[in-house]
Structure 1
Amino acid sequence: MPPNPPPLITRPEGLYCPDGDFYVDPLRPVPRALITHGHADHARAGHGAVMATRQTLDIMALRYGADFTQSRQVAEGVCRIGGVEVSFHPAGHVLGSAQVCIAGPGGRVVVTGDYTRTPNAACAPWEPVACDILVTEATFALPVFRHPDPQDEITKLLSSVAAFPDRAHLVGAYALGKAQRVIMLLRAAGYDAPIYIHGALQKLCDYHIAQGIALGDLRPATVARGKKGDFAGAIILAPPSAFAATWAQRFPDPVISFASGWMMVRARARQRGVELPLVISDHVDWPQLTQTITELDPAETWVTHGREDAILRWCEMHQRKARPLRLVGYEDEPE
Structure 2
Amino acid sequence: MSIRPEDILCPTEAGLYCPPGGFHIDPLRPVSHALITHGHSDHARPGHGAVLATRQTLDIMAIRYGEDFAASRQAADGPLRIGNVTVSFHPAGHVLGSAQILITPDTGPRILVSGDYCRTPNPVCLPWEPIPCDIFITEATFGLPIFRHPDPLAEAGRLLASMAEFTERPHLVGVYALGKAQRMIALARLSGHDAPIAIHGALQRLCDYHVAQGIDLGPLVPASEPGEARLVLAPPSAFATPWVQRFRDPVLAYASGWMTVRAWARQRGIELPLVISDHVDWPQLTATIRELAPQEVWITHGAEDGLLRWCELNAIPARPLRLVGYEDEPE
What residue in structure 2 maps to residue 68 of structure 1? 69
Q: Secondary structure at the match of 1:256?
A: strand
Deviating beyond 4 angstroms after TM superposition, the runs of 4 or more aligned structure 1 residues are: none
> Identity rate of aligned residues, in percent?
68
What residue in structure 1 maps to residue 202 of structure 2? 200
What residue in structure 1 maps to residue 275 of structure 2? 279
Tell me if the contact between 2:42 and 2:329 (Cα under 8 Å) persists in the aligned partners.
no
What residue in structure 2 maps to residue 183 of structure 1? 185
What residue in structure 2 maps to residue 261 of structure 1? 257
What residue in structure 2 maps to residue 25 of structure 1? 26
Aligned-CA RMSD value: 1.1
Between the aligned partners of 1:301 and 1:182, the Cα distance in structure 2 is 32
Q: Secondary structure at the match of 2:208?
A: helix
Tell me if the contact between 1:305 and 1:332 (Cα under 8 Å) persists in the aligned partners.
no
Aligned residue type for 2:18: C
- CA displacement, residues 223-280 of structure 1 (integer Å, 9 cap, x when unaligned): 475xxxx55xx00000001111111111121000000000010111012110000000
Tell me if the contact between 1:175 and 1:204 (Cα under 8 Å) persists in the aligned partners.
yes
- CA displacement, residues 168-215 of structure 1 (integer Å, 9 cap, x when unaligned): 000000000000000000111111000000000000000000000000
Query: TM-score, normalization: structure 1?
Result: 0.96
Between 244-253 and 17-26, report the one with greater CA deviation.
244-253
Matches within 5 A, 1:200-239: 200-223=202-225, 234-239=230-235
What residue in structure 2 maps to residue 3 of structure 1? 2
In the TM superposition, residue 334 of structure 1 has moved relative to its aligned partner by 3.2
Q: Secondary structure at the match of 2:70?
A: coil
Tell me if the contact between 2:42 and 2:328 (Cα under 8 Å) persists in the aligned partners.
no
In the TM superposition, residue 332 of structure 1 has moved relative to its aligned partner by 3.3
**Pairing 1:57–2:58 present:** yes
Aligned residue type for 1:284: V
Tell me if the contact between 2:198 and 2:226 (Cα under 8 Å) persists in the aligned partners.
no
What residue in structure 1 maps to residue 89 of structure 2? 88
What residue in structure 1 maps to residue 287 of structure 2? 291
Tell me if the contact between 2:297 and 2:318 (Cα under 8 Å) persists in the aligned partners.
yes
Tell me if the contact between 2:137 and 2:299 (Cα under 8 Å) persists in the aligned partners.
yes
What residue in structure 1 maps to residue 318 of structure 2? 322
Tell me if the contact between 1:92 and 1:125 (Cα under 8 Å) persists in the aligned partners.
yes
Between the aligned partners of 1:334 and 1:293, the Cα distance in structure 2 is 27
In the TM superposition, residue 333 of structure 1 has moved relative to its aligned partner by 4.4
Tell me if the contact between 2:124 and 2:182 (Cα under 8 Å) persists in the aligned partners.
yes
Tell me if the contact between 1:242 and 1:248 (Cα under 8 Å) persists in the aligned partners.
yes
* Counterpart selection for 1:167 from 146, 166, 169: 169
Aligned residue type for 2:100: Q
In the TM superposition, residue 106 of structure 1 has moved relative to its aligned partner by 2.1
What residue in structure 2 maps to residue 97 of structure 1? 98
What residue in structure 2 maps to residue 14 of structure 1? 15
- CA displacement, residues 268-323 of structure 1 (integer Å, 9 cap, x when unaligned): 10121100000000000000000000000000000001001111111111111000
Aligned residue type for 2:221: R
Q: Secondary structure at the match of 2:110?
A: strand
Tell me if the contact between 1:166 and 1:252 (Cα under 8 Å) persists in the aligned partners.
no
What residue in structure 2 maps to residue 149 of structure 1? 151
Tell me if the contact between 2:52 and 2:73 (Cα under 8 Å) persists in the aligned partners.
yes
Aligned length in residues: 328
Aligned residue type for 2:101: V
Between the aligned partners of 2:68 and 2:21, the Cα distance in structure 1 is 24
Tell me if the contact between 2:15 and 2:27 (Cα under 8 Å) persists in the aligned partners.
yes
Q: Secondary structure at the match of 2:139?
A: strand
Tell me if the contact between 1:222 and 1:247 (Cα under 8 Å) persists in the aligned partners.
no
Aligned residue type for 1:16: Y
* Counterpart selection for 1:133 from 119, 132, 135: 135
Between the aligned partners of 1:283 and 1:31, the Cα distance in structure 2 is 29
Structure 2 unmatched runs, 5+: none
